């Protein structure tokens, strides 16, 4: 029933790596956020692809909400990309 969506998810994962010019072996951690974290098959596919268990320590809906808030701040001009610091 959701096989098509799962296939598309993996296409997008591979595209993200290609766009970032990264190899699977360069990914240290895989973090699941959002609604798809509740789908065991998504976790299984990512585990197989990256050869490591995805992490789920961060509350998935809160992570999505925070990302949306940051994006809204950037789009509205209230937050500049230069004000953001990505940390490991």
The C-alpha atoms of residue 76 and residue 42 are separated, in whole angstroms, by 33
Which residues neighbour 59 within 8 Å (Cβ) at sequence distance 6 or greater?
none
Q: Is residue 23 part of a domain?
A: yes
Tally of domains in the chain: 1
CATH at residue 27:
3.30.420
What is residue 84's predicted lDDT score, i.e. its pLDDT? 72
Q: Is residue 18 part of a domain?
A: yes
Q: Is residue 88 part of a domain?
A: no
- Provide Rg for the chain, Cα atoms: 15
What does pTM read for this prediction?
0.71
Range of the domain at 59: 3-83
Query: Are residues 45 and 9 in contact, defined by beta-carbon separation less than 8 angstroms?
Result: yes
Asked whether residue 18 carries a pLDDT value surpassing 70, the answer given is yes
Tokens of 84: 């953001």
Mean pLDDT score, 13-34: 91
What is residue 32's predicted lDDT score, i.e. its pLDDT? 86
Q: For 40-88, what is each residue's pLDDT tens digit? A: 999 999 999 999 999 888 888 888 888 899 889 889 988 887 777 765 4
Q: Chain-centre distance of CA 62, in angstroms?
A: 13
Compare 47 and 31 and report the one with higher pLDDT.
47
């Amino acid at each position: 029933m959701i096989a098509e969506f799962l296939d598309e998810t993996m296409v997008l994962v591979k595209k993200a790596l290609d766009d970032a010019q990264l190899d699977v072996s360069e990914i240290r951690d895989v973090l699941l956020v959002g609604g798809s974290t509740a789908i065991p098959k998504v976790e299984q596919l990512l585990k197989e692809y990256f050869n490591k268990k995805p992490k789920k320590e961060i509350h998935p809906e809160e992570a999505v909400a925070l990302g949306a808030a940051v994006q809204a701040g950037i789009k509205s001009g209230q937050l500049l990309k230069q004000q953001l610091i990505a940390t490991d």
